[in-house]
Structure 1
Amino acid sequence: MNTADRLARRGSSATGRDGEEAAARFLEAQGYVILARNCRLSGGEIDIIAQEGGCLVVIEVKTRRGSRFGSPFEAVDARKQRRLAAAALEYMAMRNWDMPLRFDVAAVFADKNALRVELLRNAFEGEGT
């Protein structure tokens, strides 16, 4: 059974977890230091919080098995961007951190034989960040 078939049988929440795991491995290979995963805050949930150099990076991970629901990058709409920005500011305030903040989106595609990750760095500007 290929990767896409295996993911299709597992359901969307399992697919999302597999995608987040693939994204985390990809990010670490790119030099990101993962600080937190699935961080739940009153402003919303952040899939991955990482540091790259002196910058705090909030990464939204979107996993797709096909193109029926559009591009994973398109799924991070203005509403989602506002929620991520609010959650990121809350996270930084809780830790009393003052550092540059960036928002990236990791798109994970479930191809026939593997999970493929594409990263859009600095995907959007957060209000108030």
Structure 2
Amino acid sequence: MSSKIKKGKEGEQLAANFLIGKGFEVVAKNYRHRHAEIDLIVKRDDWLIFVEVKARSSSDFGEPEEFVDLRKINKIFEAAEEYIFSTDWQGHIRFDIVSIKLGREPVIELFEDAIN
């Protein structure tokens, strides 16, 4: 497994644990539709939240959350639309980003409704 994939998996697990600690229920990890992927899909109350996780070892080239570009956003929307349709979700939805700065003590931030 490459270090990039390993770092991504570590970040996704840290994000899942962080969100669980905040009262969210993880309903899917790495949900795929065609060439699109959503890192985490979580639920709380009548909200379904699609979460993009960005983990970086350093902020030398920018903050992790700054690496969610328009191409990625379009892919997230594509996969989310399929998930909503396939599960017949009728509640609220939103798109969040979890930013993780890896290190001895990871720094995790949740950006609610960050993608719209």
Counterparts of 2:30 and 2:105, CA distance in 1:
23
Within-5 A mapping of 1:51-66? 51-66=43-58
Matching residue within 107, 111, 114 for 1:116: 107
Q: Secondary structure at the match of 1:68?
A: coil
Unpaired segments ≥5 residues, structure 1: 1-9
Do structure 1's residue 97 and structure 2's residue 89 form an aligned pair? yes
Separation of aligned partners in 2, 1:69 and 1:54: 37
Question: CA–CA distance in 1 between the matches of 2:107 and 2:102?
Answer: 7
Contact kept, 8 Å, 1:43 with 1:86, in 2: the verdict is no
- Counting matched residue pairs gives 115
**CA deviation map 1:24-66 (0-9, x unaligned):** 0000000111000011112500100010221100000000001
Dislocated runs of 4+, deviation >3 Å: none
RMSD: 1.3
- Letter aligned with residue 99 of structure 1: G
Cα deviation for residue 77 of structure 1 reads: 1.6
Larger radius of gyration: 1
Say yes or no: does 1:73 pair with 2:50: no
Mapped to 1, the partners of 2:61 and 2:75 lie a distance apart of 21
Identical positions, percent: 35
Work out the CA distance in 2 between the residues paired with 1:85 and 1:101: 11
Structure 2 stretches of 5 or more lacking a match? none
Partner Cα separation in structure 1 for residue 60 and residue 32 of structure 2: 29
SS for the counterpart of 1:70 is: coil
Moved more, 91-100 or 31-40: 91-100
Show CA shifts across 1:69-97 (max 9, x none). Answer: 32111111222111111110101111122
